[in-house]
A and B are shown apart, each in its own frame.
Chain A
């Protein structure tokens, strides 16, 4: 089953700009994770935020979580062409790593 809806579905920006992706989910969660996937490749884990956390940073990434609105956002600052990929949020409502993925956002960063 699909848990999360992500928006936008696609995002096209210039290098140096910030990219924001949003994820909404339906049920209570233990944690929410963001992943990157380059075309035709496996997933790269970006960041995990627990249900009792509101914000987390990792390098150029900033993730927020609003459990009251059942939503999360991923901000990539000062984007680079190498950031071009699909980004997925994934929720874990059991704490046992059974992830349910959102619909994904395809990000294109032009030089």
Chain B
């Protein structure tokens, strides 16, 4: 079945630095990927829609200059948290669809970000 891989699974960074999280569709092409953020014991909140070859579409309240999204190929989207602060510590998870008839979307395993 279709697989979406995220890397790194866990990362610790210092305040003020930037960190990049990758989301790859391993055996299918994804023109669109989605990025979500989940704080502990809360639900997933959609941050942005990543479109291959064009600018990402951000949800209301998400700072596009802070959360940079790049979707340079049909199998890779990256989320860069710039000038990270402790309040950015969260679980970030991406999803992608293979566009198949089942309309199933596949989620990555997520990335835990801790900003110290």
Which A residues are within 8 Å of any B CB, using their own CB? 1-2, 31, 33, 35, 40-43, 45, 48, 88, 92, 95-104, 106
B59-116 with Cβ < 8 A to chain A: 59-60, 91, 93, 95, 97, 102-110, 112
Does B59 lie within 8 Å of A1, measured CB to CB? Answer: yes
> With A and B bound together, what is the CA distance between A95 and B49 in angstroms?
14
By beta carbon, the residue of chain B nearest A90 is: B44
Smallest CB separation, B102 vs chain A (Å): 8
Does B105 lie within 8 Å of A45, measured CB to CB? Answer: yes
> With A and B bound together, what is the CA distance between A106 and B110 in angstroms?
19
Does B103 lie within 8 Å of A88, measured CB to CB? Answer: no
User: How many positions in chain B have a CB within 8 Å of any CB in the partner chain?
Assistant: 27
| B104 / chain A contacts, CB cutoff of 8 Å | 45, 48
| B109 / chain A contacts, CB cutoff of 8 Å | 41-42
| A40 / chain B contacts, CB cutoff of 8 Å | 91, 112
Which B residues are within 8 Å of any A CB, using their own CB? 6, 32, 34, 36, 41-46, 49, 59-60, 91, 93, 95, 97, 102-110, 112
Q: Give which listed residue, A1, A43, A95, contacts B103 with CB less than 8 A.
A: A95
Task: Knowing that A2-B45, A88-B44, A99-B105 touch, tell me 9 more A-B residue pairs with CB under 8 angstroms.
Answer: A41-B110, A42-B108, A42-B109, A45-B105, A88-B43, A97-B34, A97-B95, A98-B46, A102-B43
Does B46 lie within 8 Å of A99, measured CB to CB? Answer: yes
Does A43 lie within 8 Å of B107, measured CB to CB? Answer: yes
Does B32 lie within 8 Å of A99, measured CB to CB? Answer: no
Smallest CB separation, A63 vs chain B (Å): 15
Does B34 lie within 8 Å of A99, measured CB to CB? Answer: yes
Does A96 lie within 8 Å of B32, measured CB to CB? Answer: yes
Central interface residue in A97, A98, A101, A102, by most chain B CB within 10 Å: A97
